[in-house]
Structure 1
Amino acid sequence: MYDRNSPFTSKPSALEPRQKTEFAEERLTQAILWCELAPGATATEVELAERFGLGRAATRAALAKLSAFGLMQPIPRLGWRTLPMSGALIGQVISARRLTEIALADATLSPEALAEGVKLAGMISVTGDRCEVGLLPTRRGYERDLLNLIAYDINPIIGNFLSSLWDQSDRIVRFLELSGAKPMSALDGETLIAALAEGRADDVRAALLEHLDRFQSFASEGLLNHSSELVLEGGDFDKQATSKKQEKDEPADRPIRISSRGRSSSTGTQS
């Protein structure tokens, strides 16, 4: 009989500290991108470690790295804050994609990669804009696989930068859809892969920019319909005394600061 406790039975090795940190970084990154950690939510290091079953040291190291990437922000005496969602952030992502994504038109795919791209494009076309449970994330996975496939052979620095932009775009889409926005429409993968196969660079750029235009329209509509209030900082009654003191200390022509305050927690699980 097989004896798990036998001294002659190999035991799975424990994760090394580096592996634990990498696992913690990956887990927290996915929690941010999938809005498990809602944009703007705050949590302590201990709370994050306990919630996701991570070690304290690994969580600390992962948070430091995510802070360098801009996904988490240290808040004195409060812990850590997930990168907030804002119109400025969405605009920056769109602008960066417009400048960078057209580099995909220079990609040269091998016959094997083209065949895989045709399969992925077909899967995207079959699922289309259907929103049944399970189909939407499946289609998004095919879209991301297709974009990654195309980006594989271009400059790796550009490819890595695009990957981070697509991560941010996926987060924006999930955030707005969780807030009630109509689902983002599908990428026209068949047009894109056909243009690449035939070396029609202008048509590749046109297909990419057309999808980006739809993403911009989706984001703009989602923001306009998002249930949030614009309030002046210091406008709460319990901050009026502080505001009055600041008015004495600051010049009269200082700019008015505006922040966004959400009404509900419908954007995902709060930490």
Structure 2
Amino acid sequence: MLDQTSPFLPGSAPPRPDAKRAYAESRLRDAIIWCELEPGGKVSELQLMQLFSLKRAGVRAALLRLEGEGLVEAVPRHGWRVRPISGAYLGEVVAARRALEAAIPFDRLGEADLLRLEDLAELTTVLAGRREPGSRASHRNCDRELMDVLAGAVGDIRRRWLNEIWDHSERLIRFFEKGGRHGFEPPDRRPLAAACRARDHEAAAAALRGAVDAFEAFVIQALCAQDVEIVPKGTKKPARGPRAETAPRKTGRPAPGAIQQRGMIEWSGKQDS
């Protein structure tokens, strides 16, 4: 059947500028979450325009929006940097999920929402046992759709926060899965759906906490499996050859190379083979 609403019909108006910007934002967000754009990598607006066939205005608006979501950061005179993966970043995502998901008002879910939750929970259970190519992605997409139903019970500001932190979670999972050593399976959501149906807030909150616990255990296990060197932040790498001792400055400031901050593990897209 011919779609009378198609923008490609003769006489149809071209896509509006806001639609183009929304597409650019969605495409770049997906590229970051799926690690097409490597964590820690630097990109320019021109590179993104050429890579994804986007217009400059759309790319610029998308980058500003994604900067607000913590996915990229502007680098003066060097373009943009995709947010790297660090230990502090992992901890922030886990802490934010615990705080935001605990505040979901399950009692605001309507009958249509509850039916949808139950259907999606059963579907995720079926997909969990499949091993065909693409089944893991389908399982995770279905789980995200289930969580979106829960997010519908909160206001628009908290809903945006939830969606943003779930995007960060998905990005971490895909990053650690990229090497092929670790795979994350979404939890069984049937207890959550049953608790929402029974209007049992404590049981529903416990089910969500269990899911965050499973996510945290996954990223910690993947983190511990990385064979990387922990370098104290703010220090310089020692020069090759015999190490010369450096006397403290008389000003009381730390000598060059002195540890000034606690260490942080940070990846810029390079992982174990």
Counting matched residue pairs gives 253
Change (3 A) 1:257 1:212: closer
Taking the TM superposition and a 5 Å limit, the aligned residue runs for 1:59-78 are 59-78=59-78
Cα distance between partner residues in 2 of 1:44 and 1:84: 16
Aligned to 1:235: 237
The aligned counterpart of 1:100 is 100
**What does residue range 9-158 of structure 1 map to in structure 2 within 5 Å?**
10-128=10-128, 130-158=130-158
Q: 2:94 and 2:266 mapped to 1: Cα distance? A: 23
Q: 2:114–2:197: 8 Å Cα contact kept in structure 1?
A: yes
- Which structure has greater helix proportion? 1
User: How many angstroms does 1:203 deviate by?
Assistant: 0.6
8 Å contact kept, 1:118–1:193? yes
Listed as ranges, the gaps of 5+ residues in structure 1 are: 1-8, 239-243
Work out the CA distance in 2 between the residues paired with 1:57 and 1:230.
Answer: 40
Classify 1:250/1:166 alpha carbon distance in 2 versus 1 (closer, same or farther; 3 Å): farther
What amino acid sits opposite 1:116 in the alignment?
R
Is residue 255 of structure 1 aligned with residue 257 of structure 2? no
The structural deviation recorded for 1:186 is 2.2
After TM superposition, which residue ranges in structure 1, 4 or more long, deviate above 3 angstroms? 129-132, 247-250, 256-267
Higher mean Cα deviation, 196-205 or 70-79? Answer: 70-79
Task: Say which SS state the counterpart of residue 80 (structure 1) adopts.
Answer: strand
User: Do the aligned residues in 2 keep the contact of 1:94 with 1:212 (CA within 8 Å)?
Assistant: yes
TM-score, with normalisation over the residues of structure 2?
0.83
Query: SS state of the match for residue 139, structure 2?
Result: helix
C-alpha deviation, 1:59, in angstroms: 1.2
Letter in 1 for 2:63: L
User: In the TM superposition, what whole-angstrom CA distance separates every residue of 1:66-85 from its partner, at most 9, and x where no partner exists?
Assistant: 22222111112322110111
